[in-house]
Chain A
């Protein structure tokens, strides 16, 4: 195991990033909170993408998490940030548990379109639901933490930043362990040849369903963060452009590295913020050019910057061996 992938090192890194928030300016705190929240849901998309399936409808679970938390917060006065994240993850997870096994039998574009269709059905239902505020949505109160309320905006922002960085960081550690596990390897095998996986006695559908469930849990928790940051929820959470944004982060990151998801999410937020600031009328163009640049020069995502080097090193260590067996056909 690489030193940088040791859980204790990763926990230390999460602690350092959390404490660094004390030194960051306030505007950076909210930007980093959004980046961490987006990274969490994009991480779920990456987990799922390792099976060869991309969800274009993660907004469904994002909204389920957000609405679940908002309804419980307003009905029972649940304001604790950690509890809200758990409730959001549970709402997303429950929905993923129902939908995952049904959708796992599809693949490729059908899988993507089905997820998109389901999220848009949910969006339509939310818009029509007057009890949930229709297209306007509704507001929720300020979150607390372990009984402490934060009236100072800077402290409230830091609390949210800290919770989002810690939760997303731990999700990243869990994903790193998952990627290295035998389940993670089998997920890559499903992406390449799911029929062969079945011939080996493994269930490709089950592997996809479990990855789908993990992605749904991450999306639900991310929805809770978005709710806490905005203190407002509306059907836009489930809209296809919201889902598309998360796929955008996942494409930028690639599916080879967990760290790349965080880098990609932060990079996207920075590009968006600065292009919005300096080029308010053409910021979407800047974003598009940025994505094109990554696709052209890093087709396997930002993560390929360091993963590619590792693979090259491993191959060069055994290079003489193929010469005598002949080259690949």
Chain B
């Protein structure tokens, strides 16, 4: 099966810091891949390059065979790559439903200057998406009044609006309490499953990684240290030394 995402010899430097050192990775459709690594290992740089926010110095990024290495975030989104953020990037003065409505507006070829934003079809779709995450009752609350965990889920819901081919989640459970992290991740996985998107998620919590990932890719100083099933990667000596610090 052809991979959804295929990355070949991807390189990125920030001065003397090597953030991506000849990264090569294939992401098959339907997999849930977790990227792990210490801070500064290059995980978020990888996500930023795949989503068009950063341009690689060299190498190729193919989405379904299309080179997206030089594309903008907008173009990458239109081709089927969506992402959520470590710190939720929401429109805090708008309500949860309005945030989703803005995301829904991005689907069509052109936005209407006349059609009401709260037209029933659009509103229903926004509420349906919130419902997937169990947040429909918060549809009319301004984001500024919502807790961090709820914001995280809405951020992910917005990324799902376009029914992406590839969904990148940057630390989906960071800022969520220990008691809520599994229920939060359960909601995310359940909601994403409806669209059968391929998921790549950056995560520091090894319990989350071993429970939800089909495959784990460990980063260290811009390189891939190990790549395989969770049990194998998390028990790898180098991963234990440089990434997890003997955690688990």
Where the two chains meet, the residues of A that have a C-beta atom closer than 8 Å to any C-beta of B are 1, 177-178, 180-186, 188-189, 192-193, 195-203, 207, 210, 314-315, 317-318, 321-322, 325-329
Whether the pair B94, A201 counts as a contact (CB closer than 8 A) is no
Q: B105-139: contact bitstring with A at CB < 8 Å (1 yes, 0 no)?
A: 11100011111111100100000000000000110
Known: A178-B114, A195-B53, A199-B74. 10 other contacts (CB 8 A): A181-B115, A185-B105, A189-B102, A196-B89, A197-B102, A201-B78, A202-B74, A322-B141, A326-B147, A327-B145
A154 CA / B142 CA spacing, docked (Å): 51
Given the interface pairs A181-B116, A314-B140, the reply to whether A186 lies near B102 with Cβ below 8 Å is yes
* B183, chain A: closest CB distance, angstroms: 13
| Cβ-based interface call for B91 (8 A) | yes
CB distance from B24 to the nearest CB of A (A): 25
CA distance in complex: A189, B94 (Å): 8
Contact partners of B119 in chain A: CB under 8 A: 182
Q: Which residues of B contact A325 (CB under 8 A)?
A: 138, 146-147, 150
Q: Which residues of A contact B146 (CB under 8 A)?
A: 322, 325, 328
Closest Cβ of chain A to B70, distance in Å, is 15
**A177-B114 contact, Cβ under 8 Å, with A188-B93, A326-B147, A328-B146:** yes
B74 touches A321 (CB 8 A): no
User: Total contacts A to B, CB within 8 angstroms?
Assistant: 128
Q: How far is the CA of A326 from the CA of B111 in the complex (A)?
A: 35
- Is the pair B148, A202 in contact by a Cβ cutoff of 8 Å? no
Contacts of B247 in A (CB 8 A): none
Are B77 and A327 closer than 8 Å at their CB atoms?
A: no
A327 and B51 contact, CB distance less than 8 A: no
> A180-B116, A185-B98, A202-B105 in contact; A322/B161 too (CB < 8 A)?
no
Judged by DSSP, the binding face of A is helix
B141 touches A199 (CB 8 A): no
A interface footprint on B167-197 (CB within 8 Å = 1, 0 otherwise): 0000000010000000000000000000000
User: Which of chain B's residues have a CB closer than 8 A to the CB of A207?
Assistant: 111
Q: Is B72 an interface residue (CB 8 A)?
A: yes
Do residues A315 and B141 form an inter-chain contact, with CB atoms below 8 A? Answer: yes
- Contact (Cβ within 8 A) A321 B111: no
CA distance A321 to B139 in the complex (A): 10
| Residue B162 is within 8 A (CB to CB) of chain A in the complex | yes
B83 in the interface (beta carbon within 8 A): yes
In this complex, the member of B99, B117, B175 whose beta carbon has the largest number of chain A beta carbons within 10 angstroms is: B117
A1, B145: Cα distance in complex, Å: 25
Q: Give the shortest distance, in Å, between B75 (CB) and chain A (any CB).
A: 8
Asked whether A188 lies within 8 Å of B111 as measured between CB atoms, the reply is: no
Kindly provide the distance from the CB of B208 to the nearest chain A CB, expressed in whole angstroms.
21
With most chain B CB atoms within 10 A of its CB, the pick from A180, A186, A328 is A328
Q: Which residues of chain A come closer than 8 Å to B117, judged between CB atoms? A: 180-182, 184-185
CB pair A198 B113 closer than 8 Å = no
Tell whether, in the assembled complex, residue A196 and residue B91 are in contact, meaning their CB atoms are under 8 Å apart. yes
B155 to nearest A CB, angstroms? Answer: 9
Q: Give chain A residues whose Cβ lies under 8 Å from the Cβ of B113.
A: 177-178, 181, 183-184, 210
